[in-house]
Chain A
Amino acid sequence: MPEIMGSGVALFDRDADGDLDLYLVQGEGADRFFENRGPGIRFVEIAGVPNGGAYGMGVAAGDADGDGDLDLFRTGYGPDALLLNNGDSGLVAAQGPGWDDSWSASAAFCDYDADGRLDLFVTRYMDYDPSFSCFAATGEQDYCNPTDVPGLPDLLYRNTGDGRFVEVGRESGIAALPARGLGVVCHDFTGDGRPDFYVANDTEANHLWVNQGGGAFTEEALLLGAALSGFGRPEAGMGIEIGDLSGDGVLDILLTHFADETNTVYLAEPGTGFVDGSIDFGLGTLGLSTTGFGVALGDFDLDGFLDAVIANGRVARPPGESPRAPFFAQYEETALVLRGGRDRFEDAGAASPELSGKAAVGRGLAAGDLDGDGDPDLVLTAAAGPARIFENVSNPGGNWLLVAAQTPRGAPDHGATVTLRTSAGTRVARANPGVSYLSSGDPRAHFGIPADAAIESLTLRWSDGSEEAFPAPAPNRVVVVVRGAGTIHD
């Protein structure tokens, strides 16, 4: 079963040269690492990273050891691993007590206790027994339905600052609710200045772990309307993205799901909770026949509205054509490309035939500006197929701004949100790479700006809850803002 769940991708600037390098988790064999040698999209493979005996699944990027560069945490079916960035020596598995060796999926670095060190949340999928056989309705052996297998509690690791991570799932309350966790995102969903964790669970109610302070979390998704679909159904949650879809200055949630379930938009209503806005956004029918995993929200065409791309791929063979077709071809589906408007998505697949026309067993998806031209490109991974890079060649009718939100040590401030006010309106974006499915994207906040709009102000809400205003930057550049510095530079 792990092979059908796929593996993820991380886009991260390992060598701090200002561009995004590429790490591809492999199911079997050594992971693959590629250095960005632009201009343009050009990667050179550097070195494989041994998988430590795990079937590789997810990857998260963050400055785990506080030395200012980006490390990786890799999950899998088998032992997880923390890969420390040792500069010229590359990525090296950290020594120390063993990590979880069950089946973990997505991970997210996040400083939940506001001590200045990145902690780590790891979703766990299921207590899988490989000797357990499952069958399709016609009796052929097929991958198991997740409801056949019990879930596991997710894991929360506190960074102690001395190079160690201590698992605090039980003390924090998170271990109390086992489930089949896949995607996770860290964000202050309740607006109280403390980061929370939202977890997409497969065929079960999603979890929203609300940070109570003092290291304690309570699960409030059922209370706040983010556990079930608007129809009240538990859905097969896979990937998660957050973005200001409704344009009200608050980040909403987009969740990918199994075929016959909507890709669900949970609109955040401050002080109230969430409402399912999927149908309003056109997702009552768009994408309903495909199974979504990785997901990216971004203003790909720089018109000021968020677009979306969803990596699709089946998890069960379509009945009636089973054994004769090439095995994995039976699980392939095409990606869903959605163009965003003021309050609705429309199918934009025709404008991206390579992305929406070539089928794959799509799984991981990460967005980031790979070629430095200011618009987000995409890396899509597939189960049993090559990863593919999609250069964004949308007609750039507008301008753009990339904002790198950094801690005083120079590492990305995960969980910061960036508010950009322009003459065309106010937009909020995340500066948080830990979204999608098993993947980690560009940590910089990206804004598309309509051609005739002028930037008026830039405000950061840092992950510790503090706010800071910066001078309005000029468009079409990457700017670096450092927490507490009050200045901005290229």
Chain B
Amino acid sequence: MTDARAFRSTKAWNRLALLAMLAGACGGPEIPEVGSDGMEPAVREAIRAARDALAADRGAAAAWGRFGMVLHAHRLGAPAGLAYAEAARLDGDDHRWPHLHARLLETAEPARALGLAEEALRRNPRFSPALALRARVLEALGDSDAAEAAWEALQDAAPGSVEAPLALGRRRLRRGELAGALTAFERVVERLPSSAAGWSFLAQVSRRLGDPEGAAHATARARIAARSASLGATADPDPLLIAVEDLRADSRGREARARRAAAAGDHDGAEEIYRRLVGERPGSADLHYNHGNALARLGRTDEAEAAYRTALTRDPDSSAAMANLANLLARSGRDREADGLYRRSIAADPSHLPTLLGASSLHFQRGDLRQAERYLRDALASAPDHPGALQGLGQLLATAGRLGEAAETLSRALAAAREAGAASGQLAGIHFLLADVERQRGRTAEARTHLTQAEALGMNVPPAFRALLEPER
């Protein structure tokens, strides 16, 4: 039920197509008129601007293409198709327009999409998104042999592709070629460790190969990946389609752009978009909350605090806003206020992990290890394999001198972090904590092993610990 890509022809668009064809006979189509009733003003303006630019340069393929992209971005598929077709006619070398036209028609008219993909590939034979599209369409049309060859062609042209080994693995699995399928799926998860599809297929192959441990491991990874929303990442990124999405002017599209910016570390960019969005939709708690996050990342703590507080006026039970505001206050030394917010958040949602972790951290910093431990154990009661909670508990136990328990908990944290595909920095941190615990327990060899691994994962080992590494050198 996603909102994307539903482009059924309507009577209005059919009339439009006819008009365009007639106009084409007289030297080029009319620029499609797009009804704007009910459109968000920003969308209307974006379409108008692209249309005006095209009107000023009707013979330019790029202007038609750009107009098509703007319409495409707003799911106005039929006129977008007309614009792409004219762009492709005006410039017989540019692969972008037949490719984007093919993407528009991929599911609604696969046979036409196939022809357009072939045209894009005639213009740019190694353009991997078109190779992938051709393979997908051939498979959907049931042309199995041609699809196999098309996937192989994609694999050759794009050695980093995830989509190609995924498809080839699926086909091998279907034919019972388990060893070949295993190799392909291993390649998928090596290239994209968050691929739920890759792990799920790997689990199926491992099970059929009589490897229950491998199957269980892969299933667990698939489930983790499924939770972290990358489940749909079965297709390689298509830069042209990303460029189309970037043209979305509606608030939802801009919100997605802000999320992408924040995920890429562009907090300035994210903050700017969120600032405009909260001006347009001041009642949205989520927007104020996300704006607060961007401001906090930029170190603009006063503004971040205000944004979180506004979010809480819109949604007083938002544990996420309470937790992040409390974290901010704790970092500013306003412990009592932070503690009050953590308690309010826990009352609203007793299993809210960020709150429990934040509250634990606050009490740990204040030396109240007993309360800190209680929060962490509450967190682990609802998420027993949460790497961060296990790491925090291990650190706390080590601080309390409960070294045996600390070593055991940190080992669990390490396993859980590996299982979750954690970043190398987190893995290095856990190894370092384990090294310190083992050192305190007098288990020098184990300490050295962990320290070596922390260093191998990129950690700068503190000078005080370097001596431990020496016998290795």
Contact = CB atoms under 8 A, between A and B. Distances in A.
Contacts of A145: 1-3
A219 B220 CA distance: 11
B421 to A, nearest CB: 16
A465 interface: no
A472 interface: no
Contacts of A289: 6, 8, 107-108
B435 to A, nearest CB: 35
Interface in A228-264: 228, 230-234, 236, 258-260, 262
A233 B107 contact: no
Contacts of B208: 272
A396 B67 CA distance: 55
Nearest to B39: A138
A314 B106 CA distance: 19
Interface string B237-273: 0000000000010111100000000000000000000
Contact of B200 (A139, A232, A260): A232
Nearest to B223: A222
B56 interface: no
B5 interface: yes
B447 interface: no
A139 B13 contact: no
A215 interface: no
A284 interface: yes
A230 B3 CA distance: 22
B376 to A, nearest CB: 21
B246 to A, nearest CB: 13
B229 to A, nearest CB: 9
A113 interface: no
Nearest to B139: A279
A30 interface: no
A145 B1 CA distance: 6
Chain B: number of interface residues, binned into ranges: 35 or more
Interface stretch (A202-210, A300-308, A349-357): A202-210
A273 B204 contact: yes
Interface in A209-234: 219-220, 222-225, 227-228, 230-234
Interface stretch (B73-81, B290-298, B362-370): B73-81
A315 B37 contact: no
A319 B76 contact: yes
A202 B43 CA distance: 29
B6 A139 contact: no
B418 interface: no
A459 interface: no
Nearest to B204: A225
Interface in B1-51: 1-8, 10, 12-13, 34-35, 37-43
Nearest to B136: A231
A202 B231 CA distance: 13
A135 B1 contact: no
B35 A321 contact: yes
Given A224-B204, A260-B5, A320-B78, A279 B250 contact: no
B207 interface: yes
Interface residues of A, number: 54
Interface in A311-325: 314-316, 318-324
Contact of A228 (B43, B75, B167, B200): B200
B280 to A, nearest CB: 10
B68 interface: no
A140 B3 contact: no
A136 B3 CA distance: 7
Contacts of B73: 137
Given A146-B1, A233-B232, A259 B107 contact: yes
A288 interface: yes
A205 B38 contact: no
B74 A205 contact: no
A135 B195 CA distance: 29
Nearest to A316: B3
Contact of A236 (B2, B79, B166): B2
B114 to A, nearest CB: 11
Contacts of A140: 38-40
Contacts of A228: 196-197, 200, 231
A316 B250 contact: no
Give the residue among A145, A260, A262 with the most B Cβ atoms within 10 A.
Answer: A260
Given A223-B219, A284-B140, A232 B37 contact: no
A145 B37 CA distance: 22
Nearest to A259: B6
A285 B207 CA distance: 31
A204 B225 CA distance: 12
A227 B200 contact: yes
Contacts of B251: 135, 139
A291 interface: yes
B1 A222 contact: no
A232 B219 contact: no
A322 B38 contact: yes
Interface in B65-106: 73-79
A138 B40 contact: yes
B215 interface: yes
A85 to B, nearest CB: 35
Contact of A285 (B3, B12, B140): B140
Contacts of B75: 136-138, 319-320
B1 A318 contact: no
A318 to B, nearest CB: 6
A147 interface: yes
B473 interface: no
Interface in B184-201: 195-201
Interface string A194-208: 000000001111000
B188 to A, nearest CB: 9
B448 interface: no
A142 B215 CA distance: 42
A320 B79 contact: yes
B354 interface: no
12 contacts: A138-B43, A205-B226, A232-B196, A232-B200, A259-B6, A260-B4, A275-B173, A318-B8, A319-B74, A321-B35, A322-B38, A323-B38
Interface of A: 134-140, 142, 145-147, 202-205, 219-220, 222-225, 227-228, 230-234, 236, 258-260, 262, 272-273, 275, 279-280, 282, 284-285, 288-289, 291, 314-316, 318-324
Given A135-B40, A140-B39, A258-B2, 18 more contacts: A222-B199, A223-B215, A223-B219, A224-B204, A227-B226, A231-B136, A231-B234, A232-B198, A232-B234, A233-B231, A273-B207, A284-B110, A316-B6, A319-B6, A320-B76, A320-B78, A322-B38, A324-B37
